[in-house]
Amino acid sequence: MSRQYVLAIDQGTTSSRAILFDREGRIVGTGQKELRQHFPKDGWVEHDPEDIWRDTLAVCRQAIHAAGVAATDIAAIGITNQRETTVLWERDTGSPVHNAIVWQDRRTAETCRELVADGIEERVRGRTGLVVDAYFSGTKLAWLLDHVPGARSAAEHGALAFGTVDSFLLWRLTGGRVHATDATNASRTMLFDIVEQTWDEELLRALRIPPSVLPEVRDCSGSFGIADPELFGAAIPILGIAGDQQAATIGQACFLPGMSKSTYGTGCFMLVNTGERFVASRNRLLTTVAYRLDGRTTYALEGSIFVAGAAVQWLRDGLGIIRSAAETEELARDLPDNEGVYLVPAFTGLGAPHWDPDARGAILGLTRDSGVAHIVRAALESVAYQTLDLVDAMTADMAAATLDGGLGGLRVDGGMVVNDWVCQFLADILNRPVERPAVVETTALGAAYLAGLAAGVYASLPAVAGAWRLERRFEPGLAPEQRERLVAGWRQAVRRVRS
């Protein structure tokens, strides 16, 4: 049978990946390229959209070539992407007017403080499910309109298009024919009403965003246009889009309320499915769109932590005390205990549930006996404690919303979870099972499922759920008093770094 493969594009913060999946969800070809980072000023992070486009094309061709399949055998393309990162481009040339402003970029923190002072917070919370923070696209887009010469007037004349990375790639893949996004990416802009599923006019006015720059918002699975046949040698339909954390939620088959996944890459993002209910968080988590299929929205609560694997990168590249990330496992395991040493990786402030942009990192509890292993172990432990802070907030929110069943076991993925010690410590600290799936490329898999469902390559959500396979389950095993002592130490360390 022809057309039995699905090509997933996973355009992430630090790399662009393409993975070709077969009907059984098996990987048959991959391509990957590191993405160049730009740090023009302290706290600013940019990507060149032309790099994003060139790398994406290259990795797609690499994956197709590696699989040895013809482009005519590919039924659909699915796109998943680093979320919030903001691109503004000219409609007639397709050229970006500026580098993309990356989700980590803090240049609009002051604007956010002003917006809060103007009393916008309640509307943002109630309509978009978000907190007012520089993390989201809205103030980044406003910054571009205000700082790129001529941008505001061009936008007001309908000459510019805004999009998150998915929209920009879609525009380029379709030769400038389609300006659209999906509901999950729209839900991260701080401009989109996730209950009404429309752009919010009051927020657009408050941020002075002309509606003509906005993409059309579609379901995650369905028609987004056709990739120009010149690009891959065949006209391949683009049938799925979702932000990367939502795609991982789908790849982890978290389709029932209470099911959760946590992805440990550069940062850590935990999402719990709350079904068709918008659950407003009382604990400073985000409410977000998990997916929208056939016009029906499924919601999630999300906890976003800015530094997870990035702490390990810092040990390697900043401190130079390890040579590779893999070494951390043995170093941590060789210590019987953290011996009172904690690392709070608030390098760029603290994300959920603290949202403290002015907190800064610290290593606490050092003695003359502390060595490299203590610091390494403290960095790995910090990932588990930060997850516990999210789990506690989620549990409280779900109980307050009287959601049946509560929070179940946690499905994990991302580059860090190859580390067995991390997974075991996570189970110990959370005091709940941690499940690692057989396919850890859950983000790309989720995008492939969305596109493949629309193409008929995959039958249904229950079929997708049935295909999820456990590789290893980590059971909690720490004595309660030991766990309490460790967690109390973490809480004290966080109090000491708060601004």
Ligand X SMILES: Nc1ncnc2c1ncn2[C@@H]1O[C@H](COP(=O)(O)OP(=O)(O)O)[C@@H](O)[C@H]1O
User: Which residues contribute to the site for ligand G3P (CB under 6 A)?
Assistant: 12-13, 82-84, 103, 243-245, 265-267
- Please state the closest distance from residue 287 (CB atom) to ligand G3P, in A: 15
Residue 266 within binding range of ligand X, rule CB under 6 A: yes
When the beta carbons of 12 and 138 are compared against ligand X, the nearer one is: 12
Instruction: Please state whether the peptide bond connecting residue 229 to the residue before it is cis, i.e. omega within 30 degrees of 0.
Output: no
- Give the separation between CA 371 and CA 382, rounded to whole angstroms: 17
Residue 13 within binding range of ligand X, rule CB under 6 A: yes
CB-closest chain residue to ligand X? 415
Stretch that binds ligand X, among 113-121, 152-160, 204-212, 323-331 (CB under 6 A): 323-331
Amino acid residing at 325 = A
Question: 347-350 long-range contacts, Cβ below 8 Å, gap at least 24?
Answer: 347/306, 347/307, 347/310, 347/311, 347/314, 348/43, 348/104, 348/106, 348/306, 348/307, 349/106, 349/306, 350/306, 350/494, 350/497, 350/498
- Please state the closest distance from residue 228 (CB atom) to ligand G3P, in A: 26
When the beta carbons of 102 and 226 are compared against ligand G3P, the nearer one is: 102
When the beta carbons of 80 and 338 are compared against ligand G3P, the nearer one is: 80
Identify the residue whose tokens are 């992407």. 81
Question: Which of 37, 212, 223, 313 contacts ligand X by CB under 6 A?
Answer: 313
Q: Which helix (H) or strand (E) holds 392?
A: helix 372-400
When the beta carbons of 67 and 307 are compared against ligand G3P, the nearer one is: 307
Residue pair 333/302 in contact by the 8 Å Cβ criterion: no
- Give the separation between CA 1 and CA 134, rounded to whole angstroms: 48
139 is in an annotated binding site: no
- Give the tokens for residue 239: 């049938």
Three-state DSSP at 88 gives: strand
Question: Which of 231, 401, 418, 478 contacts ligand X by CB under 6 A?
Answer: 418
- Please state the closest distance from residue 71 (CB atom) to ligand G3P, in A: 27
Residue 96 binds which of ligand X, ligand G3P, none (CB < 5-8 A, kind-dependent): none
266 is in an annotated binding site: yes
Stretch that binds ligand X, among 60-68, 296-304, 306-314, 356-364 (CB under 6 A): 306-314
- Give the separation between CA 444 and CA 149, rounded to whole angstroms: 37
Identify the residue whose tokens are 């391949």. 236
- Please state the closest distance from residue 164 (CB atom) to ligand G3P, in A: 9
Residue pair 345/379 in contact by the 8 Å Cβ criterion: yes
Residue 415 binds which of ligand G3P, ligand X, none (CB < 5-8 A, kind-dependent): ligand X
The DSSP code for 476 is: P
- Residues of the binding site for glycerol: 83-84, 135, 244-245
In the complex, which residues of this chain contact ligand X (CB under 6 A)? 12-15, 265-266, 309-310, 312-313, 325-326, 328-329, 414-416, 418-419
- Residues of the binding site for ADP: 13, 17, 266, 309, 415, 419
